[in-house]
Amino acid sequence: MGFTDQEIVALSGAHALGRCHADRSGFDGPWTTSPTMFTNEYYRLLLEEQWVPKKWNGPFQYVDKTSGELMMLPTDMEMVKDPAFKKYTEIYAKDNDRFLADFAKAFVKLEELGCRFPEDTKTYRFKSTLE
- What b/e readout covers 17-47, taking b as 16+ CB neighbours within 10 angstroms? bebbeeeeeebbbbbbeebeebebbbbbbbe
pLDDT at 77: 98
pLDDT at 36: 95
pTM of this structure: 0.87
Q: How confident is the model at residue 124 (pLDDT cuts 50, 70, 90)?
A: confident
User: Which burial class, exposed, middle or buried, applies to 115 when counting CB atoms under 10 A from its CB (0-12, 13-18, 19+)?
Assistant: exposed
